[in-house]
Amino acid sequence: MPENLTEQITDTTSAAEAAPADSAPTTGAAAVDDGVDILFTDLKLDGRVLAALSDVGYEKPSPIQAATIPALLDGRDVVGLAQTGTGKTAAFAIPALSKMAELADINGGPSKNTQVLVLAPTRELALQVAEAFTSYAKHMDGFTVLPVYGGSPYGPQLNGLRRGAQVVVGTPGRVIDHISKGSLDLSNLEYVVLDEADEMLRMGFAEDVEQILSSTPDEKQVALFSATMPPAIRRIAKKYLNDPAEISVKGKTTTGTNTRQRYLQVMGPHKLDALTRILEVEDYDGIIAFVRTKMATEDLADKLRSRGFSAAAINGDIPQQQRERTVEALRDGKIDILVATDVAARGLDVDRISLVVNYDIPHDTESYVHRIGRTGRAGRSGDAILFITPREKYLLRSIEKATRQPVEQMQLPSTAKINELRLGKFADRITQTLSGEDVSLFRELIANYEQEHDVPASEIAAALAVMAQGGQPILVQDIPVAPAGQRERAEGRKDGFGSRGPTRTLTEGNATYRIAVGRRQRVMPGSIVGAIANEGGLSSAQIGGIDIRADHSLVELPADLSKDQLRALSRTRIGGELIHLELDKGRKPAAGRGAGEFKKPFRKDYPKRDGDTRFSGDATRKPRQGKGAGAGTGRSSAQSEQ
């Protein structure tokens, strides 16, 4: 092994401490081309696997591959920590296949038994891993990889399992289902991989993963791959891995120190108001706000526009040409705010961006690093603000580690502060108008009015100020806490503010669903999130409050679930019980639901809702006209009245 490799293999303790391994935010081959002077041919791999690697065009192993493949070929348990995009899939797939190929030679053909089980957090990742296995196994005869995941019919998976698959790649919920149905026989299992272990934990699969691990044979090899090492993962590693080689690959820091990072604790439904307030007090040039889904880009851009900001959305569904035009508009200052998904903003390079808002927290630290790299460009200083909901707080430390910079907590600008600012701006407009405009015509008009109506000038000025405001109140207001009786009125508001405020109600676009498992079935919030996310093809972020009752539970989910999703979810099982998911018809949506009724799906080991930031929205705010528009607006409306 060449010398530089030993540096990447840290001892057990430091690997465990070194939570995220951060690397440059690049993808594919470039990401893994990181100065490892070792070739795949040095790694004692089976010739068929080597041939496949050369087919897919890999030149040499990535650092995590170079370090873990020998240990795995040796039969050791392995903990592999490396940032996203560093080639972890091949790191565990290549040695597994190489061993199976050699075993098949010895036994005169491949056995049909399931020898390898890979657990992955989502359907997409399971499919990706299965595809990777298939491509590396291209030259191995009689060899099958079967992905099994939630949200798709059991039939084909059952057939696949019956025919026999040497490698099964699955999401935890569905794997448990197959184990309990007896369709997945793990008695000949030799190798288990927990892929993207931190993400599995994040999605609430810890218990499922443990349940699966404890139903596998004692004699087996276990590998755990992850981008970060939260304590719960360390605990699982300790319990289920036998004297593992812990390998942590460090990447380069990519965030410049000229970007100031802050975070704001905010509940999901308050994010829009929070952003609005921040935009009012922060000095900014161009802004990019990151959200998690394509739909959310359009949604947030619409809402910002309706509040008077110049915002536009870019996402992967928008044709390339149009995306480019939007980016140009940002560059030229025709728009100020770009609302984007990670994919759409990849590589975006606009010097004007002075603030990055992580409206939805990114899925991994690499994305975070990439996102905030959109500001502080060309030697300028940048600002990054991260919205964190209480249950996301535990991710902060990984982010701080990835960027090697502290992320300071920021406070939401208060109602008083916003109002002070607005009054100040209004006064400035008066000053500017008096100094810069010819007001003689109006002076005469007012003087006449004062005499004719016998009204003091200050009264007239006040009336004119109201006119200048165009019917919009100048001050923002705290939203009153709506007692049950007043809620209907609050919810009737067109601006959507009724769904916010200190009393927890449904998030806009969500509905309450009922599932037929509750305390009696010993369900935990985590298993509900996991099962619903997987079987319904939802992201965990789309799953809102969960209220576990005695023999059923209420779950907040998007109101517009598709027929397929509903069908899949009605057949989903949690702990072996069918959940029969259905809309909770018995109750009016969002009615009378007190703050205590919905519980967010906290994991035991996550911080509780210690720092819920509750604040009132500013239902009455005047739409902002864009940067520095204050005085200009006043002028133009005065002129138009001439």
- Residue 89 CB, shortest distance to ligand ADP, in Å, is 3
The window from 28-36, 216-224, 326-334, 532-540 that contacts ligand ADP (CB under 6 A) reads 28-36
- Residue 246 CB, shortest distance to ligand ADP, in Å, is 16
Whole-angstrom distance, CA of residue 368 vs CA of residue 388: 13
- Residue 542 CB, shortest distance to Mg ion, in Å, is 22
- Residue nearest to Mg ion according to CB distances in the complex: 88
85 binds, among ligand ADP, Mg ion, none (CB under 5 to 8 A by kind): ligand ADP
Residue from 20, 25, 70, 87 touching ligand ADP (CB under 6 A): that is: 87
174 binds Mg ion (CB under 5 A): no
The window from 84-92, 308-316, 340-348, 562-570 that contacts Mg ion (CB under 5 A) reads 84-92
Q: How many residues sit in the footprint of Mg ion (CB under 5 A)?
A: 1
- Cβ atoms of 258 and 379 within 8 Å: the answer is yes
CA-wise closest residue to 510 among 561, 548, 448, 582: 561
- Residue 144 CB, shortest distance to ligand ADP, in Å, is 21
Q: How many helices (H) and strands (E) does the chain have?
A: 24, 20
Whole-angstrom distance, CA of residue 107 vs CA of residue 109: 6
Q: How far is CA 96 from CA 66, 101, 108, 138, 146, in A?
A: 15, 9, 18, 14, 15
Encoded tokens for 434: 């008096």
Residue from 89, 122, 540, 572 touching ligand ADP (CB under 6 A): that is: 89
88 binds Mg ion (CB under 5 A): yes
361: alpha, beta or left, given left = phi > 0 and alpha = psi -120 to 50?
beta
CA-wise closest residue to 16 among 321, 250, 229, 249: 229
319 binds, among ligand ADP, Mg ion, none (CB under 5 to 8 A by kind): none
- Residue 94 CB, shortest distance to ligand ADP, in Å, is 9
- Cβ atoms of 269 and 503 within 8 Å: the answer is no
228 binds, among ligand ADP, Mg ion, none (CB under 5 to 8 A by kind): none
Tell me the residue ranges of DSSP E strands in 210-342: 221-226, 245-248, 259-265, 286-290, 311-314, 337-340
**Closer of 125 and 388 to ligand ADP (Cβ):** 125
Residue from 8, 23, 68, 86 touching ligand ADP (CB under 6 A): that is: 86
Whole-angstrom distance, CA of residue 203 vs CA of residue 230: 13
- Cβ atoms of 1 and 74 within 8 Å: the answer is no
- Residue 143 CB, shortest distance to ligand ADP, in Å, is 19
Whole-angstrom distance, CA of residue 338 vs CA of residue 316: 14
- Cβ atoms of 315 and 264 within 8 Å: the answer is no
Q: How many residues sit in the footprint of ligand ADP (CB under 6 A)?
A: 16
- Residue 90 CB, shortest distance to ligand ADP, in Å, is 4
Residue from 16, 52, 67, 90 touching ligand ADP (CB under 6 A): that is: 90
Sheet containing 408-409: order of strands: 311-314, 337-340, 286-290, 353-358, 382-388, 259-265, 408-409
**Closer of 336 and 366 to ligand ADP (Cβ):** 366
**Closer of 85 and 390 to Mg ion (Cβ):** 85
Whole-angstrom distance, CA of residue 405 vs CA of residue 383: 13
Encoded tokens for 7: 């540096």
SS3 for 516?
coil
The window from 29-37, 346-354, 559-567, 586-594 that contacts ligand ADP (CB under 6 A) reads 29-37
Report the DSSP beta bridge partners of residue 280: none
Tell me the residue ranges of DSSP E strands in 397-500: 408-409
The window from 80-88, 276-284, 501-509, 536-544 that contacts ligand ADP (CB under 6 A) reads 80-88
**Closer of 88 and 270 to ligand ADP (Cβ):** 88
- Binding map of ligand ADP across residues 39-78, x = CB under 6 A, - = no contact: -------------------x--xx--x-------------
Residue from 13, 28, 452, 458 touching ligand ADP (CB under 6 A): that is: 28
Q: Give the binding site for Mg ion (CB under 5 A).
A: 88
Q: Give the binding site for ligand ADP (CB under 6 A).
A: 28-29, 31-32, 58, 61-62, 65, 82, 84-90
